[in-house]
């Protein structure tokens, strides 16, 4: 996976397509993010560089309720890649 702005935009589209609002704000998040489940809001540390934002989203996405039917083809492929990587690491 390439650590560039296009990859970041594709990763951001995954939760957004399921109704989550992504916000980049200042905070002292231990993990780089905070999830407000009841409001479907995800707050990411705005001080992270592109690589840090991508890694944070990769860690975060499996924890969210993602509706795969609403994903576009490119985004769905990336989502399944993240999930299969997680499953491989769990074995």
**Burial (0-12, 13-18, 19+ Cβ within 10 Å), 2:** exposed
Mean pLDDT, all residues of the chain: 90
How many whole angstroms separate alpha carbon 67 and alpha carbon 43?
20
pLDDT attached to residue 79 = 95
Q: Is the pLDDT of residue 91 over 90?
A: no
pLDDT attached to residue 87 = 83
Taking the alpha carbons at both ends of the chain, their separation in whole angstroms is: 21
pLDDT attached to residue 41 = 92
pLDDT, tens only, 9-51 = 999 999 999 999 999 998 777 777 788 878 899 999 998 999 9
Q: Are 27 and 45 in contact (CB under 8 A)?
A: yes
pLDDT attached to residue 36 = 81
**Per-domain residue ranges of the chain:** 5-90
Closest CA to 61 of 3, 22, 30, 24: 22
Return the residue matching tokens 């399944």: 80
pLDDT band for 5, please (50, 70, 90 cuts): very high
């Amino acid at each position: 996976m390439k650590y560039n702005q296009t990859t970041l935009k594709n990763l951001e589209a995954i939760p957004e397509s399921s109704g989550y609002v992504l916000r980049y704000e200042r905070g002292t998040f231990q993990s780089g993010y905070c999830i407000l489940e009841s409001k479907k809001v995800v707050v990411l540390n705005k001080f992270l560089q592109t690589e840090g934002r991508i890694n944070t989203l990769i860690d975060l996405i499996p924890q969210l309720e993602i509706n795969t039917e609403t994903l576009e083809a490119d985004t769905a492929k990336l989502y399944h890649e993240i999930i299969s990587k997680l499953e491989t690491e769990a074995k």
